[in-house]
Amino acid sequence: MKINVTRSSMPSFEEYCEEIKDIWESRWLTNHGKKLVELESKLKEYLGVSNIVMYTNGHLALEAAISYFNFPKGSEIITTPFTFVSTTNSIIRCGMIPVFCDINDNDYTIDVTKIEALITNKTVAIMPVHVYGNVCDVEAIEKIAKKYHLKVIYDAAHAFGVRYKGRGIASYGDISMFSFHATKVFHTIEGGCLCFNDDSMKLPLEQQKDFGIVDAEHCDYAGGNAKMNEFQASMGLCNLRHIDEYISNRKKAVELYRKRLLGVNGIRLLEPQEDVLSNYAYLPAIFDGYKKSRDQIKEELAKHDICARKYFYPITNEYSYSKGKYKRDTPIAKSISEKVLTLPLYSDLSIEEVDLICDIVLDIK
Ligand SMILES: *Cc1c(COP(=O)(O)O)cnc(C)c1O
């Protein structure tokens, strides 16, 4: 059987059917229904956040977060290119200019020592990424943001359930986005949310994702539509029941990968971060000076029907639409993107499968 880089976690078919039964009775399919309200309150508790707004996907949530602040068109947002295109696209689609900051070599999050040099009188925000679920240097970022009066919008798409110093990761910064896409640690098929501490942001964000409607006869501005429906929320309710088991299974797989690959000449794995409760979202391995290149290892695995992915290659300032347009060199991001291979990791990946993948990587001639 083919082993993909990821595989969606699913409740049993019966559990999902049981969950969606009430929807047939109520005929309430979307627009802040019962399932969504229940999921919201359970997520608030699980994520350790004070406010949550649910979206039909993570990308629209990220755009909503930027739009909320009403920055002047052409403002600059400092971000990293070592991420999924969504991060960069959200900035551009909101009429802002991405200013690329390099990542650090330890955990591939934004290099906080390089942020200040990029700040201009057009800078309005920082959009760091908790890439692979690794926690950014949230304290240093907060200091810089305070000093220059910048907003901090976290792309926490990979960081569902991650805690830092005992606090939910989304309690840092002005606002954080989690993605609930099918491939993520926790999913609602498609989906996402914004989390924030400031209660006054809740109502405007709720209205913004529902056309800007205030009530039946009032619409204050041209909002869009990014609502989560009841079938998505039901999938979320089912998956949330099993989230601890999903994460502990991932942890077992990660531990075995580490046992087998750590210390091998030419292979580098990420070190666990201090004070961080991880969600074991991804298993990136850096092939640097190994007997075969990253691309050759990817090919060898593919011969065995195992799909590893080059997350993140290319970096987002090297795509055709962005290359050369936003001039900021990010040599570390570029170098990592040329050596990284994300190995298969998901909740029901078996111990035997991890062993098989490691055998292939280690036995390559
Ligand atoms: C998945 C992802 C997104 C987008 O989320 P969707 O729910 O797929 O729209 C944004 N940023 C990062 C880093 C992601 O991995």
The H or E element that residue 193 is part of is strand 192-196
Q: How far apart are the first and last CA of the chain?
A: 24
What's the CATH fold of domain 13-237?
Aspartate Aminotransferase; domain 2 (3.40.640)
Residue among 158, 58, 141, 146 at smallest CA distance from 101: 141
Q: Compute the average pLDDT of residues 181-208.
A: 97
Evaluate if residue 173 carries a pLDDT over 80: yes
Q: Is 279 in the pocket of ligand 1 (CB under 6 A)?
A: no
- Give 3-state DSSP helix, strand, coil % of the chain, rounded to 5: 40, 20, 45
Q: Which class does domain 243-363 fall in?
A: alpha beta
Contact 234, 19 (CB under 8 A): yes
d(CA 339, ligand 1 centre) in Å: 22
* pLDDT grade for 172, boundaries at 50, 70 and 90: very high
Q: Where are the domains of the chain?
A: 13-237, 243-363
pLDDT level of residue 122 (50, 70, 90 thresholds): very high
pLDDT in tens, 70-85: 999 999 999 999 999 9
202-247 per-position pLDDT tens digit? 999 999 999 999 999 999 899 999 999 999 999 999 999 999 999 9
Q: What global pTM score does this model have?
A: 0.97
Please tell me the predicted confidence (pLDDT) of residue 26: 95
Q: Which residue from 80, 162, 179, 282 has its CB within 8 A of the most atoms of ligand 1, so it is best to mutate?
A: 179
- C-alpha to C-alpha distance for 243 and 351, rounded to whole angstroms: 19
Q: Is the CB of 59 under 6 A from ligand 1?
A: yes
